[in-house]
Chains A and B, each alone.
Chain A
C-alpha cells in the first residue's frame, strides 16, 4: 500500500480536540477511493451558507481587537513575487518579528502576548535569508516549493526542491499539486505525488496547496482535500494566490468540512490555510468565525490555522489603532514590511 510508506511519527501527540474528542497530528492513511467518490457537495447550498455565515457572526470592540491580534498570530506573511530580493525578505522578517508597534501593543494592553507572525512564506531561494533573519524569534519559515505556482515541472525536480528546502531547515513547506490529476480524476497519482512530497519534507510540516481556483468545482476541491489529507498533509491550503479566484468562503467551507469529516473518521487533525484575496480585517474575522463554527477554537490557533496574506496585516494594524485611539488610522502610520 502506498500509504504504508509514509513516515509515521514516533510518538503521536494530541494536537486538538473536536467535540471533545482528542485528535493526533496527521500520519496519513491508505487512499480510500470509495470515500473520495462518495464526496457530495451542493454548490448552491454551500454558497448560501457562506453568504449567511458572514451575517450571522460578528465581533465588536475588545473582542474584535482580540480576534484581530489572533489573526496576526495566525498569519503566514508572504512575499512571492518575481521582484523579491534578499533585502525585501529581510524587511518582511523584521515586520514578522514585530507586526504591531510596541506603543500600540501597550495601548491595547497586550504586550505580554508578544504577538508575532506565525511564519514568513517565501520562495526556496530566499528561505535561508529568512531563516537567518528570524533566528531566535519563534517565527517559522515556510518555503513554497514543487514548481510553485503551476506545479508543472517534472515530479523529480519538484521532489528535489522539497528536499532542498527541508535540508536547509525550514519548518514548513508549501507544496502545489498537479491540478491535472484532479481534473482527470487520477486520485492515485495525486495521492502518490503528495505522499512523495510528504516523505521529502522530513520533519518539516507540509502544506498542500490545492489551487482551488483551477479545480473549477467545489466537488473537486472536496475530493482533492480528502486525498491530500489521506496522503499526509499537515495543512491543506486553498490557493497559490496566483489563480483567477483564490480563497473564497465557499471553498473554505468545503475544505473545513472535509477536515472535520477526516478528523471524525480518523482521529487526526489537519490544519487549514486560506490564501490569496484576504486583504481586510473584516475578512480575517469572518474566516476565524468560520473556523470557530465549523471546527472549533483549536482551529483558531497557528498550529492548525494560517492566513496566507501580504496586505492583510496593514489593514489589521489600522483597525487596531482605531480601536486604541478611537480615530480612523492611515496606512502610512504603520511600518511597511
Chain B
C-alpha cells in the first residue's frame, strides 16, 4: 500500500521494536541456561532442561534448566555460605551494591524490556515504560534503606537465607520486589522464577556478576513447581516469600507450618473498581483500561469487578464499549499495542473456561469487533455485564482481560459489594467528592486503594493484601519488616517444660475460708457465660493444691466468642483517643484492686512474683494506652503529584492462645496491643491458671470496655486453638505457647489464610519491656493499607 493510500485510511501500521539485541544476548548464551549458583552458571544436577516459549508466536526462545532438590540445596548452601560475609559488610557497602544493580538495570533497560516482552507476551510499552523503570526504582529505593538500615532498625536482624518464588505476570518486577528488600536488610537469596518466564531473572543474574555482587548473595534456580517445593521444604531456608496463586500459597503455609520459616504471601485478588455517579466518567474508563487491560489482565490487583452506581451504569457501559473498540490487540513487540499475548495455552484455556461458565450462569458477554492476530495466544478484551455476586466470574480470579460489571445503589452498598469477596488485594474508587472517596476507601478491605487512579506502583508504597490475598507488604518501610526480626527474638531460647499443665495425682483441697464460694465463668460478649459443655476443670498450683475450678470451654464457646467479637464494632470504630481512655481507665482499676488480684494470683505463681506481675501489668496497660493514639501510619513519597497514605488498620478479630507463664501479664501483653490498634479479641488464657478470667472480667466491666471487645474462653489449649485457628471469621491467630502449638496454629490457619503470629515456641520474658511490649506486637496487630490520592485542578 502506497503512502497515498495510507493517507486516505490513516491506519496506524506496524511499529515493531527490534528484538535483535535481545536475540544476540540469547545467542551469546547459546540459548541455553543453567542455574546461577554461587556466582557461576551451573548445569542442572540431573541434566534436565525445558523450553521457554514466546507466547506471541509459539516459538522456542531458549532452553532453561529444570531445578531439582539437589540444585536447590546447592543454591541454599551457597546463600548460607555467603551470608556471614554479606552481613559483615557495612550498610554503606551493601547500599553500593544495590545502587549498582539499579544503575545496571537502567543501562540494560531495553534488552530487559524486550526479553520480558518476548518471554511473557506483555506489550513492549508496558515492559519498557512500567516494568523495567519500576525495577530500577525499586533497587534505588532499597539502596537507600540498605544505607539507613542500622540507624532505622537498630534492634532488628536479617532473617538469613531467603527463598523467593515469583510469578510470570511481572517477572523482573516481582524479582526486584523480592530481591531488593532482602538484600537491603542483609539477607541472602535463592530465587526461583516462574517456569514460563525465566529469562529476565537469568539476565539479572548476569547483571549481579557484572557489578561484582559477592557470589552466593543472589542465586537463581529455574524450574517448575517441584523446584519451588524443594525450596519451600529446604531445612536451611529461614524465610519464604511467595507471590502467586492462593492455592499454592496455602500449600506453602501448610508445608512450612512445622518450621520456624517466616512467610510472606502475595496472592490473588478480585479487586473492585467502584465508580460513583459524580466521577469523571471518561477518566474512570481510562482507569479501567489500566485496571483490567494492563498486562492482558494478568495482574493480581486487576480491577476485575466493576461496581457502577445505578444512575450512571448505562452511560458508563456505553463509554467502556466505545473505548474497547479502540484497544489494539496484537504482537506485543509492537509499540502501539494495548493488549499482547496470554502467557501460555493453559492460561488462555482457563480464561475461556471461566468466561464460558460466566455466560452459562447468565452473564452477557460483549467483545468489540476489533482486529485479532491470526496466530499466537490472544484473548479479546471482554466485558461481562448482568453479572451477580453469585456468579463465578464475580468471585474467581480470571487473570485475563475480562471485566465483570455490576451495579450498586448507595455508597454503603458499594462497600458491601466490594468487600463481598475472600480476597482483599486492591480497590479503586472513582468520585470527584473527597468525602465519598475517602469514606469508601477507609471501609474497603484491601491493602491498596487507588482513588481516581489505577494500578500505580512505587517502591516507597507497600503493596499486599488483606484476607486471602496474603500477608506481608512489599515496598515501603512496611515491606522491610518482612525480612527483619527483633534481634532478641532470633536468639531467644526454646520455651521449657513450664507449658505442661500441673496435674497433681490427688489434689488437696484447701480448707474453706471466710470467702463465699466463687464460680469463674467464661467472658463472652461482655457477659459472664457458663461453658456450653457444662464441665469445669480443676486448677492446681505447682504444688498440686486445688486453687479452684475454671469453666471448660469448647468449640461452641469459641464460636459464640468470635460472633461477639465480630459484633463489637464500636471498639474498632472508636477513636484512638477513646481507646486510650478506656485502657488508662483499666490501669486505674487494676491499680485499685492490685492487692486483691495479686493475692489470688499469688496462690498460683507465688506472692512475690504475683505482686511483681500485677505491677508490671499496670505499667503495660499504660504503655499501650500511650501507644493507642501514637502508632500512626505514614505518608509515602511516590514520584507522583499525590498523597499516598499508609494507614495502620486493625486486622479485625484476633484469636489468641496465651502462655502458661505470667497468666496475667502475658495475657495482657497480647490483648493490649490488639485492643490499642482497634481489634477485638478472643483469648484463651493460661491453661495452668485460667482463673485469671474472674479477675479480668471485673476489670474490663468496670473500665468501660465495650461488650465483645475482649472475650475470654478457658479450656484445653490444643482443642480451642484448633477451633480458633480454623475459624474463617477470625482474621489472625496469635499463639504464644509451646512449639507444637505454634505449628498447629500455622497449619490450622490455612483455610482463610489468616495471619499467624507466634513465639515459634521460644521463651519470651514478659517482664522485660524490650521483649514483652512495643512496636513488634503493634505491627502484628495491624495491616497497612495504602491509599493513593492524586490531586490537582
Contact = CB atoms under 8 A, between A and B. Distances in A.
A110 B10 contact: no
Contacts of A218: 793
Contacts of A44: 452-453, 641-642, 790-792
B125 interface: yes
A9 interface: no
Interface string A48-92: 110010011111111111110110000000000000000000000
A103 B322 CA distance: 42
B283 A112 contact: no
B10 A42 contact: no
A62 B279 CA distance: 41
A45 B280 contact: yes
Contacts of A289: 12
Given A19-B325, A44-B641, A44-B791, A109 B4 contact: yes
A47 interface: yes
A112 B4 contact: yes
A19 B318 CA distance: 11
B interface SS class = loop
B7 A58 contact: no
B516 interface: no
B282 A257 contact: yes
A43 interface: yes
B453 A48 contact: yes
A69 B791 contact: no
Given A57-B12, A63-B11, A297-B10, A45 B453 contact: yes
A45 B7 contact: no
Given A42-B280, A45-B286, A293-B326, A69 B3 contact: yes
A64 B430 CA distance: 37
Size bracket, chain B contacts: 35 or more
Contacts of B452: 42, 44-45
Given A59-B12, A63-B12, A69-B7, A40 B642 contact: no
A109 B1 CA distance: 11
Q: Which residue among A48, A113, A288, A297 has the maximum number of chain B CB atoms within 10 Å of its CB?
A: A48
A217 B793 CA distance: 6
A113 B286 CA distance: 36
Contacts of A58: 12, 15, 335-336
Interface string B268-305: 00000000001111111011001000000000000000
B129 interface: yes
B298 to A, nearest CB: 18
A69 B790 CA distance: 39
B280 A40 contact: yes
Nearest to A49: B286
B10 A70 contact: yes
A264 to B, nearest CB: 8
Contacts of A112: 4
A66 B286 contact: no
A164 interface: no
A41 B125 contact: no
Nearest to B432: A40
Nearest to B286: A49
A101 to B, nearest CB: 16
Interface string B399-434: 000000000000000000000000000000010100
Q: Which residue among B2, B279, B793 has the maximum number of chain A CB atoms within 10 Å of its CB?
A: B793
B428 to A, nearest CB: 11
Nearest to B791: A44
B10 A292 contact: yes
B504 interface: no
Interface of A: 19, 40-49, 52, 55-67, 69-70, 108-110, 112-113, 217-219, 257, 288-289, 292-293, 297, 300
Report, nearest first, the 4 A-B pairs whose CB atoms are least far apart: A63-B13, A45-B283, A66-B6, A44-B790
Given A58-B336, A67-B6, 17 more contacts: A40-B281, A40-B432, A42-B280, A42-B432, A42-B452, A44-B453, A45-B280, A46-B280, A48-B286, A56-B336, A56-B338, A58-B335, A59-B336, A63-B12, A288-B10, A292-B326, A300-B10
